[in-house]
Structure 1
Amino acid sequence: MDLFAVPDLPEIREGDDLAALVSDRVDLRPDDVVCVASTVVSKAEGRTVGLDEFPAGPRAREIAADLEERTGEEKDPRFAQAVLEESTEVIMDAPFLLTETRFGHVGVNAGIDRSNVPDGDLLLLPKRPAASAERLREGLDADRVVVTDTCGRPFRHGQRGVALGWAGMHASRDWRGESDRDGRELGVTVENVVDELAAAANLIAGEGAGGTPVVVVRDFEWGEHAGSDNHFRNVEGDFIRQAIRGWSHDG
């Protein structure tokens, strides 16, 4: 398996044909996986906004004041309002905002970015990353597309690449029912392939001012395995979320 960044992409603006810009710079092969950072997807889709578009309500002002008291850092209640409007659930509101986005992703501040946003204050995640991935797949005439982001994980330091949306492939490779080398049947192993591809692509794309938001994964083979489109854990089986809810309410 080889990975390489698509070179010389310009600063993406609202309305840009991202698929055409990529196609002009790389000859894709059948079965390539094109991993596209959500930042450029959001910019092309007009998800750059100003803080003034989010006048703070009482809940946002309360959250900002509490965070400011806890951290000693000034917090803009308009940012808290933006997070609330991009979320379906606030899982934790201190010492930071951990929320579920409207498409099911759980992350800090609803994934709202304040870096590399030359035309506004904030960059929101794509509204429907799976639909964005499908549009890119059609525009690229590609087999498989993954829309990626970076976020932290429980029990781990730092951030890693994760998948927000995908098209043309299953999210997970299901090993259940197959056997290990000793003939024991696997009963729980489901490998989240789109997250693994996103993490691999992030190693090439980098962070900060790298300017290489699109990575092609070449010669990745799925193998003879069943597939699953399960990606975001159901609340009923998400015991970490349930524990955080209980801790937050008790606190």
Structure 2
Amino acid sequence: MQVFAVDGLPEIRAGDDIARLIADQVDLEAGDVVCVASTIVSKAEGRTADYDDFPAGERAQQIAERVSERAGEQKDPRFAQAVIEASDELLTDDPIMLAVTPFGHVTVNAGIDRSNIPDADMLLLPEDPSASARRLHEALGVPVIVTDTSGRPFRHGQRGVAIGWAGLPAARDWRGEHDREGKELEATVQAVVDELAAAANLVTGEGDGGLPVAVIRDWDFGDHAGSDELFRSDDEDLIRDPLREYYARD
């Protein structure tokens, strides 16, 4: 497959038509998958915010005090308040705020960004990234993945992940297929939207590159069953309850 970044996109502002801007810069082909950074989706949807929008409550002040002491520098409790309000739940609040977003993604600081945001302090994730992806998919006529960068348990470094998608299943479901020895696969479900998001991140990059969109071309889902199960539900997750119990005891 080919993966390439889309050049020439302007700084995105609230109300901008991202689909039109993308279509103006690249001739999409049938079978293409467009990966769009959540940052520009959020900017177009007006998800910028300032610290003063989030007066800090007692819990936010306590979190900021603990983190400030640990880090050796003052942390703004209004940021902690923003994370609390952008989350359905905080699984941990020390040493990191590990948040469950309303759409099911689990990530540090509820995915709130503080980089590359002209005229605002913070950028919140889209309220419903899959709905955002559906609108772009309908306008562009090809599958769309809304991506973000996220840390990885047990590993250093971040990688691109999918937080919303439309026009393709989230995963290839290999269950019921067979290996070379004829053994039936019972558990393998390949999270292709995450893998495509990570591939896109290799060419869009981080920092000041200004390349928030990538196109994946000549990739084929193949003759597999599809699955949209990407975010584990609470009752399937083996990690959340132990975290809750640990922090409740602490």
TM category (shorter chain) comes to: over 0.9
Match of 1:18 in 2: 18
SS at match of 1:87: coil
Match of 2:142 in 1: 143
Match of 2:218 in 1: 219
Match of 2:126 in 1: 126
Normalised TM-score (structure 1):
0.98
Q: Indicate yes or no: 2:43 matched with 1:43.
A: yes
SS at match of 2:25: coil
Query: Which residue identity does 1:67 align to in structure 2?
Result: V
Contact 1:49–1:120 at 8 Å: present in 2 too? Answer: yes
Matched residues in 2 for 1:157 and 1:240: separation?
Answer: 19
Matched residues in 2 for 1:143 and 1:23: separation?
Answer: 11
Deviates more, 1:55-64 or 1:19-28: 55-64
TM-fit CA distance, 1:63: 1.2
TM-fit CA distance, 1:250: 2.4
Contact 1:71–1:95 at 8 Å: present in 2 too? Answer: no
Query: Which residue identity does 1:237 align to in structure 2?
Result: E
Q: Indicate yes or no: 2:71 matched with 1:71.
A: yes
Match of 2:194 in 1: 195
Q: Indicate yes or no: 2:241 matched with 1:242.
A: yes
SS at match of 2:239: helix
Matched residues in 2 for 1:224 and 1:138: separation?
Answer: 24
TM-fit CA distance, 1:240: 2.0
Normalised TM-score (structure 2):
0.98
Residue by residue, what CA displacement relative to the aligned partner does 1:57-98 show, whole Å, maximum 9, x if unpaired?
111111111211222221111000100000000100000100
TM-fit CA distance, 1:243: 2.2
Match of 2:2 in 1: 2
Matched residues in 2 for 1:176 and 1:242: separation?
Answer: 28
Matched residues in 2 for 1:24 and 1:76: separation?
Answer: 41
Matched residues in 1 for 2:247 and 2:148: separation?
Answer: 26
Matched residues in 1 for 2:159 and 2:249: separation?
Answer: 30
Residue by residue, what CA displacement relative to the aligned partner does 1:142-188 show, whole Å, maximum 9, x if unpaired?
22000000010111101000000000111011000100011100000
SS at match of 1:56: coil
Give structure 1 stretches of 5+ with no counterpart.
none
Give structure 2 stretches of 5+ with no counterpart.
none
Query: Which residue identity does 2:196 align to in structure 1?
Result: L
SS at match of 1:242: helix
Q: Percent identity?
A: 64
Match of 2:229 in 1: 230
Matched residues in 2 for 1:66 and 1:133: separation?
Answer: 38
TM-fit CA distance, 1:35: 0.2
User: Deviation above 3 Å: which 4+ runs of structure 1?
Assistant: none
Q: Indicate yes or no: 2:166 matched with 1:167.
A: yes
